[in-house]
């Protein structure tokens, strides 16, 4: 269940290790391996781990680097941070290669959403939105992280478009309000990445780092820099951003 990085690469590794297994990956998306992280088409959405450390094969650590030099940029270095879409294409390519080598009957991509599982004759029966039940000996849940819950912050009943629960949803980047306050409750790494979207959209902002707990802009915040996010080593602390 789930064909992001985990589901798609598990399928590839299983087929490398066994010549008798058949694997079906069920995911509502059309492209293997993309998931939330690698489906963005935006070129300014970069990997946050350098290319030299992103191989899908531990025993071939430069596999992604070599692929990216051929298919994206011949000058790519180990410490380069290419767009996440390039990494998604790499994962998709690995999946298609495995399917070509094993045959379509041994590696299927089923475009559907799983609704439920039940025990059935020593295995499991999978009910999807559209298809008949699928029978499997083993099911792996590779459904990724669920969207974040709404934080308990007064004032979240803001007008539509002023607050986004899930910063990676496509709508969160559309029609950004030019001059309103916004904040992000997440790790500094994600905040930095999210802010780069806004910067690329021409929105200036002031970023804050809240020391103790979740804070709203202007409320006991520590201002870091104007129009520029500077990271923090405290990975537990949430971040706050406020547009100029
Ligand atoms: C913005 C962002 C940037 C990141 N950048 C990096 C990076 O540079 N380097 C790095 O190593 N890691 C990065 N990560 C972490 C990255 O997400 C993980 O490394 C990895 O991609 C997680 O893969 P996953 O398969 O577990 O989850 P996901 O990629 O989220 O995939 C889960 C899949 O399950 C499917 N699914 C969910 N529910 C169902 C259902 N009921 N039925 C069927 N399918 C379902 C979804 O459609 C989705 O395709 C980043 C994460 C984010 C959010």
Shared-domain flag, residues 201 and 126: no
Count CB neighbours of 122 within 10 A: 6
Shared-domain flag, residues 100 and 204: no
Shared-domain flag, residues 156 and 237: yes
Tell me how far apart the alpha carbons of residues 37 and 168 are, in angstroms, rounded to a whole number: 8
Torsional sign, CA 95, 31, 115, 168: positive
Shared-domain flag, residues 114 and 168: no
Shared-domain flag, residues 132 and 242: no
Shared-domain flag, residues 9 and 32: yes
- Of how many residues is the chain composed? 244
Shared-domain flag, residues 112 and 156: no
Write the CATH number for 34.
Answer: 3.50.50.60
Shared-domain flag, residues 153 and 132: no
- Of 136, 155, 181, which residue constitutes the final position of a domain? 136
> Is position 233 within any domain?
yes
Shared-domain flag, residues 9 and 128: yes
The model carries a pTM of 0.79
**How large is the greatest C-alpha to C-alpha distance in the chain, in angstroms?**
62
The predicted-structure confidence for 95-148, as pLDDT tens digits, reads as follows: 999 999 999 999 999 999 999 999 999 999 999 999 899 999 999 999 998 877
Question: What pLDDT does 151 receive?
Answer: 73
Q: Where are the alpha helices (DSSP H) in 27-168?
A: 63-71, 84-102
Count CB neighbours of 186 within 10 A: 15
Expressed in angstroms and rounded, the spacing between residue 198 Cα and the centre of ligand 1 is 22
**CA distances, 168 to each of 38, 55, 84, 195, 231 (Å):** 11, 24, 13, 12, 19
**CA distances, 67 to each of 14, 56, 182 (Å):** 21, 11, 38
Shared-domain flag, residues 132 and 158: no
The predicted-structure confidence for 164-182, as pLDDT tens digits, reads as follows: 777 777 676 666 555 444 4
> Is position 28 within any domain?
yes
Which ligand 1 atom minimizes the distance to the CA of 115? 41
> Which stretches of the chain drop beneath a pLDDT of 50?
179-188, 202-244
**Angle, vertex CA 108, rays to CA 15 and CA 126, nearest 5:** 105
Q: Ligand 1 in contact with 90 (CB < 6 A)?
A: no
Question: What pLDDT does 5 receive?
Answer: 98
* Domain extent at residue 205: 147-244
Shared-domain flag, residues 182 and 118: no
Domain count along the chain? 2
Question: What pLDDT does 156 receive?
Answer: 67
Tell me how far apart the alpha carbons of residues 154 and 30 are, in angstroms, rounded to a whole number: 39
Counting DSSP H helices and E strands in the chain, the numbers are: 4, 8
> Is position 56 within any domain?
no
- Of 94, 114, 136, which residue constitutes the final position of a domain? 136
- Residue to substitute in 46, 92, 127, 143 for testing ligand 1 pocket (most ligand atoms within 8 angstroms of CB): 143
Strand pairing partners for 206?
Answer: 226, 242
Nearest Cα to Cα of residue 7 among 40, 31, 32 = 32
Task: Name the residue at shortest CA distance from atom 9 of ligand 1.
Answer: 49
> Is position 103 within any domain?
yes
Question: What pLDDT does 162 receive?
Answer: 63
Whether 186 and 167 have beta carbons less than 8 Å apart is answered as: yes
> Is position 69 within any domain?
no
Shared-domain flag, residues 174 and 196: yes
Q: Ligand 1 in contact with 52 (CB < 6 A)?
A: no
Question: What pLDDT does 181 receive?
Answer: 44
Whether 7 and 29 have beta carbons less than 8 Å apart is answered as: no
Which ligand 1 atom minimizes the distance to the CA of 46? 8
* Ordered strands of the 114-120 beta sheet: 114-120, 123-128, 134-136
Question: What pLDDT does 78 receive?
Answer: 97
Expressed in angstroms and rounded, the spacing between residue 132 Cα and the centre of ligand 1 is 26
């Amino acid at each position: 269940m789930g064909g992001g990085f985990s589901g798609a690469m598990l399928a590839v590794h299983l087929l490398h290790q066994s010549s008798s297994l058949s694997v079906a990956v069920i995911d509502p998306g059309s492209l293997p391996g993309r998931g939330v992280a690698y489906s963005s088409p935006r070129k300014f959405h970069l990997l946050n781990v350098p290319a030299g450390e992103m191989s899908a094969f531990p025993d071939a650590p430069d596999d992604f680097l070599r692929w990216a030099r051929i298919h994206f940029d011949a000058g790519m270095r180990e410490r380069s941070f290419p767009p996440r879409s390039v990494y998604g294409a790499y994962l998709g390519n690995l999946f298609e290669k495995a399917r070509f080598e094993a045959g379509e009957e041994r590696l299927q991509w089923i475009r559907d959403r799983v609704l439920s599982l039940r025990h059935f004759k020593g295995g499991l029966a999978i009910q999807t939105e559209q298809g008949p039940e699928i029978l499997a000996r083993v099911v792996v849940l590779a459904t990724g992280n669920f969207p974040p819950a709404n934080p308990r912050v007064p004032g979240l009943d803001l007008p539509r478009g002023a607050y986004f629960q899930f910063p990676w949803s496509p709508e969160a980047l559309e029609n950004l309000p030019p001059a309103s306050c916004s904040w992000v409750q997440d790790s500094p790494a994600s905040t930095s990445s999210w802010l780069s979207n806004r910067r690329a959209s021409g929105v200036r902002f002031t970023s804050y780092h809240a020391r103790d707990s979740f804070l709203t802009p202007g409320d006991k915040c520590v201002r870091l820099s104007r129009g520029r996010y500077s990271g923090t080593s405290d990975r537990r602390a949430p971040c706050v951003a406020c547009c100029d």
